[in-house]
Amino acid sequence: MFYSKITANENATPWPNDEIALRHFIAEHSEALAHSATLLAGRTGARIVSDIIDGLSGDRPLTRRLRLRLFELRGILALEHAHDDVQGDADHCAFLDPEDPVIDEICLLTDQYGDALAAAGLADPRGMRAPA
């Protein structure tokens, strides 16, 4: 069998290991994130997850816009705007039954997503706000 030597592209962007873990988490859980965001915020949630997946495709670095989208998704999953008439997530949340098993799954996914953001250095693990 023929093997060729693999050389790194001098233009390639090296990602920190923590960012690789975040990218891997989102790739592994993209369907669950999309379903949860759509369930909790409708088309807005679906659009945010789509933007995140598009932003993470290829070897591009995390842009400011992508970081904002990552935190918008965190806000949706954590129901930070569930009672905010301006953001409008309340309409979607009103149809959820608190006893539905999907709620436990969304909570677990939210915790794991928050851990992935914190591990990537994008959030303070205690308050889940972007570091200054």
Residue 130 · residue 66 · CB < 8 Å: no
**pLDDT for residue 132:** 43
How far apart CA 61 and CA 111 sit, in angstroms, is 24
pTM above 0.85, yes or no: no
Q: How crowded is residue 109: how many other Cβ atoms within 10 Å of its Cβ?
A: 16
Residue 110 · residue 118 · CB < 8 Å: no
Q: Tens digit of pLDDT for each residue in 47-82?
A: 999 999 999 988 788 899 999 999 999 999 998 866
Q: Which residue has the higher pLDDT, 84 or 73?
A: 73
**pLDDT for residue 68:** 95
DSSP assignment, residue 12? Answer: -
Radius of gyration of the chain (CA): 17
52-84 b/e (C-beta count within 10 Å ≥ 16 → b): beebbeeeeebeeeebebbbbbbbbbbbebbee
Q: Tens digit of pLDDT for each residue in 98-128?
A: 788 888 999 999 999 999 999 888 876 555 5
Nearest Cα neighbor of 61 from 102, 96, 104, 19 is 19
**pLDDT for residue 94:** 53
Q: Tens digit of pLDDT for each residue in 2-52?
A: 555 555 555 555 556 678 889 999 999 999 999 999 999 999 999 999 999
